[in-house]
Amino acid sequence: MRTSRSWWWWSGVIVGAVGLGVSYLAAGLLRVRESPVVAVAEGVRDVTPDGVVHWAIDTFQTRDKQVLLIGMFVILAVVFACLGRLARSRWWFTVVGYVVLGAIAGVAVAVKPGFRAVEIAPVFVGFLAWLVGLAVIVQWLRRWELVEASDDAGADPTHTRRGFFVAAGAVGGVAALSGFLGALAGGQREAVERDRRLLRVDQVTKPTLPRGVKIDVDGVAPWQTSADDFYLIDTAFLKPAIRVNEWELRIHGMVDNELTLSYDDLIARGITEDWITLNCVSNEVGGGLIGNAWWSGVLLKSILEEAGVQDGADAVLQTSEDGWTCGTPLSALMEDDRNAMLAVYMNGDPLTVEHGFPVRTIVPGLYGYVSACKWVVDMEVTTFGGIEAYWTSRGWSELGPVKIASRIDVPESGADVSTGSLVCAGSAWKQHTGIEGVEVSLDGGAWTPATLARVPSDDTWVQWRAEVQVDEGDHELRVRAIGNDGDVQTGVERDVLPDGATGWHTVEFSAS
C-alpha cells in the first residue's frame, strides 16, 4: 500500500494545532489575557469594512463573534493542511507560511492598547512548536515513503507506518494537552470569581422594588431585570478577567490633576445608587436589548471635578481593558441631576465578569456605544475633534442620546385571544426625560390612552396597561409614547444605524 497523500494534509493540521495549543498554554502561564488567535480575531474585527460589520450584526446578532472564531479556525485548518502538503516537496515553503502566520499574530498582539513585550512570547513559542512538530512529522512520513519505494524485499513498511502514527499521535497529544493545561494555567477567571464572592462594599444596599412600578399583567417583562437576563453586547472575544487588586483607572488628558485610582481608592469616594434602564442602540423597534437594574457606584462628576477639567474639553474617551473605546459627551458626565457613575454593583451584587467586573460606566439617557464602557481602565478628557471611538468610526452618530420608544408585550404577535375586552400591556422609555403618556391604536383607529405605573425617576422605563374591545377576526395593535418634554414617538420607520431605530411597535393577533 502506497503512502496516501492525505497524510501530508492531515499532518499539516496536526502540526498547526500543536502550535496553537502551545501558544495558548504560554499565554495562560504568562497571564496574558489574549492568546494570539483571539488577538487576530479582534484585529480582523477592527479592520472589517463597516458594511460587513453591520451585515454580521444583523445576521448573527450576539453570535457574531462565535461565527467569526469558527470561520477563522476553519480557514486556519485549510491553511495548515495546505502547508502540510507543501512540506512533502518544498518544506521551506511551509516554514515561510509559518513565518507569515506568526507575523500576522505578532502584529495583532503588538497593536493592542497597553501592549507589553511579554505578550509577544506566546506567538514566538507557538512558532517554535510549529517547527518542531513539522520536523517530527516530516521525518517519519519521509521514512515511510522511502521504505515503501525501496526494492529491498526485506524492508518492512509496517514499522515506519506505525512510527509515523506514533509520532502524529504524540504531536496531536501535545496539542490537546497544551490546550487543556492552557485553560488551567489561565485560571484568572477562577481567581476573579473568587474575588467576586469575597467582595464586600458596606455602602451598597440590596434593591427594594419601588411601590407601584408593576402593572401585574402576565407576560410583561419584569420591571427589574436580573443580571442573567440583562442583555449583553460587546466586542470582546474573550471577556477580560481583572482581579480587584489589579484594577486601575487612569484619568488624564485635559485635566489639572491626573488621577490613577485603585478599586479601594474609588470606593473610598462614596457610593451612589439608582434605578437605571439601559438599552442598546442596536435594539430594533419592539426588541429586547433593554434592561433595568439597581446600580451602585461612584459619581463620575465628583471624580472629574477632583481631576480639574480644563476649558475647551467636551468629551471623555473611555477605553476598556480589551481596547474597545467610546467617546462620551463631557456635559452628560458633569450634570448635577444625571447619576452618571462608575458602577461596581448590579442589583446588590458585584458586577459579573460579563457585565464589566470590577468597574464599568453607566450614563443614564445615552446609548451604551457612547457611554457604557465595561472593564473601564482609562478615561482621557479631550475633545470630539481629537478622538475617534470604535463605533463612531464605523458610521454611528457621535452623541447617542436615547430615543423615545415603547413596546407591546401583551398580546404577543400571532396570539389567539378571546373577543371582547382585551388587556394589552408593555413598557415605554426615554431615559433622563421620562414618559408622560402611552397610547395604543387598534386596527389604525383612534389612539387610546393607557394607564401608567409609577417610576422612581425619569431614568427608568415605565410599564403601561390599556384595554381595547376586539371583535372576531384578525387585528393589528400599535403603541406610541409621549415624553415629559412633549416629544411624541414617531411612526416613521428607520433602521438602527446611525443613532437608533424609530417607528411604532406593532403586533398582529386573532380574536375568536
Tens of pLDDT, residue by residue over 332-367, are: 999 988 999 999 999 999 999 999 999 999 999 999
User: 356 in helix, strand or coil?
Assistant: coil
Gyration radius (Cα) of the chain, Å: 28
Mean pLDDT score, 131-139? 77
Report yes or no: 512 and 415 within 8 Å, Cβ to Cβ: no
The whole-number pLDDT of residue 1 equals 43
Residue 320: CB atoms within 10 A of its CB come to 23
User: 345 in helix, strand or coil?
Assistant: strand
Confidence of residue 378 (pLDDT cuts 50, 70, 90): very high
Beta bridge partners of 260: 250
Question: Which of the listed ranges 52-66, 381-395, 480-494 does the model predict with the highest average pLDDT?
Answer: 480-494
Identify which has the larger pLDDT, 73 or 420: 420
Within 397-479, residue ranges assigned H as helices are none
The whole-number pLDDT of residue 170 equals 60
Mean pLDDT score, 465-474? 95
Report yes or no: 236 and 322 within 8 Å, Cβ to Cβ: yes
Write out the three cell numbers for 231: 442583555
Q: What are phi and psi of 488, to 5 degrees?
A: -100, 125
Mean pLDDT score, 304-316? 97
Residue type, 332: A
Q: Is there a cis peptide before residue 449, judged by omega within 30 degrees of 0?
A: no
| Rounded alpha-carbon distances, angstroms, from residue 394 to 52, 88, 423 | 11, 45, 42
CA 56 to chain centre: 14
The answer to whether residue 156 scores a pLDDT higher than 60 is no
Tens of pLDDT, residue by residue over 164-209, are: 566 556 655 655 655 555 555 456 777 888 889 889 999 999 999 9
The whole-number pLDDT of residue 160 equals 58
For 51-65, 115-129, 374-388, which range has the lowest pLDDT when averaged over its residues? 51-65
The whole-number pLDDT of residue 75 equals 83
Q: What is the mean pLDDT of the chain?
A: 86
Tens of pLDDT, residue by residue over 227-253, are: 999 999 888 777 888 999 999 999 999
Question: Which of the listed ranges 33-47, 134-148, 204-218 does the model predict with the highest average pLDDT?
Answer: 204-218
The whole-number pLDDT of residue 138 equals 73
The C-alpha atoms of residue 505 and residue 408 are separated, in whole angstroms, by 7
The C-alpha atoms of residue 18 and residue 133 are separated, in whole angstroms, by 7
Q: What are phi and psi of 258, to 5 degrees?
A: -65, 135
Tens of pLDDT, residue by residue over 241-299, are: 899 999 999 999 999 999 999 999 999 999 999 999 999 999 999 999 999 999 999 99
Q: Is there a cis peptide before residue 358, judged by omega within 30 degrees of 0?
A: yes
The whole-number pLDDT of residue 53 equals 64
Mean pLDDT score, 141-162? 59
Kindly give, in sequence order, each residue whose CB lies less than 8 Å from that of residue 492, ignoring residues fewer than 6 positions away.
Answer: 502, 503
User: 100 in helix, strand or coil?
Assistant: helix
Give the whole-number percent of the chain exceeding pLDDT 90.
57
The whole-number pLDDT of residue 51 equals 66
The whole-number pLDDT of residue 47 equals 65
Say what the pTM is: 0.75
The C-alpha atoms of residue 11 and residue 9 are separated, in whole angstroms, by 5
The answer to whether residue 412 scores a pLDDT higher than 90 is yes
